[in-house]
Amino acid sequence: MPRFSASVSALRSSAIRELMSLASRPDIISFAGGMPGNELFPVEAVEELLGGLDLKTKQAAFQYGPTPGLPSLLESLSGFLEQKGLPVQKNRLMITTGSQQGLSILAKAFVDPGDRVLTEYPCFIGAIAAFRSAGAEIRSIPVDNEGLDIAILQEEAARPDPAKFLYITPYFHNPAGILYSSERKQKLIETLQGRDIPLIEDDAYAGLWFHEEYRERLKPIKAIDPDGIDVCYMGSFSKILGPGLRLGWLLAPPAIYEKCELIKQSADACSPSFSQVIADAFIRSGRIGPYITSVRQEYRRRAACMTTALRNHLPEYVRWSEPRGGFYIWLTLPEGSDSTPILKLAIDGGAVFVTGNTFDPEGKRNNTMRLSYCNNTPEEIERGIPIIARAIRDVCG
């Protein structure tokens, strides 16, 4: 009988991965996956860029690279991040194999089995998995439409045994879809200053804002550069170029970076050079800005289609907020409801979503559900939302 480690025994299968197997069925409309639409990828532009590279660069794409990342990409990405006001020169930048690796690295850097870490509720499933794998005890703090519950965070910050870190996704949150207000971010900063609780700021969706009026909220806490807080800033090419590249980044204070580089070296030695060459060429060509603008407009169109469908078909007792950007809409059912039987009925009708307990570190709270509009055409959204609305009415009345 295999004797598995305690950390792997604590892991549970992701409902999202299980539901994705349904997406290949032609009779199923999937609102489960948080992945870009295949038809939106810049295939022709990448082919053109690759064809224009010199032989030396093409050869380097097939070779091992330095653990922190290819110098050319680190340089071009630094410029891209500095345009957002991030203090790149005061920190160290590392390329990671997707932002998921960044989470795993940071968990290994900070967490001993039994250590307490703070997250939001609901929380990105990838973060839950990474922190659990390191043996963390996860304390989740509820969010509302403006951000984290500051009163609960203040209670946690005042404890004599501080949590190892706080993990947040302030910009078009996965799964709740919220965008932190500037006021809530400032209160969060004031609460953490001098408390020896590092902040992990996950910013995978910030380029995908829908309305100009919200742009002032998008300034990262890392760009504010507050005194008395170690801020580790994470981002990804997955949502702004393509998840198949498996490229993310970590911008961290030097002392934290040094530990993270050692951990990455032992994990995979280096991220894919081929992907890094593509990302670097895309940035240097000047195409990344116009491309993000084009996909942002398309996601805004799909989000508007879904919000219209939800207004037309959902019962009034279902609570949700119109998305300001990103990929997701979070539905809240009446207290005591269970989204699992709703999912079963929806699948029978031809549509899938993700139940709320997937994003609960305790795996219990389940009167919620996540809908993703990013990988669906407006026609699919208009056909799929009535199926889910009928399932909600059949279960909840």
**Does one domain contain both 123 and 255?**
yes
Closest CA to 185 of 199, 197, 175: 199
pLDDT at 20 > cutoff 70: no
CB burial of 366-384 (b: ≥16 within 10 Å; e: otherwise) equals: bbbbbbbbbbbeeebbbeb
Helix segments in 204-253, DSSP class H: 221-224
Task: Classify residue 155: in a domain, yes or no.
Answer: yes
Task: Classify residue 57: in a domain, yes or no.
Answer: no
pLDDT at 18 > cutoff 70: no
**Does one domain contain both 78 and 204?**
yes
Is the distance from CB of 187 to CB of 150 less than 8 angstroms? yes
Structural domain span for residue 18: 6-42+290-396
CATH number, domain of 24, equals 3.90.1150.10
Mean pLDDT, to the nearest integer, of 25-31? 86
What is the predicted pLDDT for the residue at 354?
95
pLDDT one-digit tens code per residue, 59-89? 999 999 999 999 999 999 999 999 999 999 9
Length of the chain equals 397
| Residue where a domain terminates, one of 284, 304, 329 | 284
**Does one domain contain both 121 and 254?**
yes
Distance CA 202, CA 103 (A): 9
Considering the chain, what percentage of its residues have pLDDT values greater than 70?
A: 95
What is the predicted pLDDT for the residue at 368?
98
What is the predicted pLDDT for the residue at 2?
84
pLDDT one-digit tens code per residue, 239-294? 999 999 999 999 999 999 999 999 999 999 999 999 999 999 999 999 999 999 99
Mean pLDDT, to the nearest integer, of 306-333? 97
pLDDT at 383 > cutoff 90: yes
| Residue where a domain terminates, one of 262, 284, 306 | 284
Q: How many domains does the chain have?
A: 2
What is the predicted pLDDT for the residue at 15?
60
CATH number, domain of 166, equals 3.40.640.10
**Does one domain contain both 305 and 329?**
yes
Is the distance from CB of 292 to CB of 240 less than 8 angstroms? yes
Mean pLDDT, to the nearest integer, of 118-125? 97
**Does one domain contain both 145 and 266?**
yes
**Does one domain contain both 245 and 300?**
no
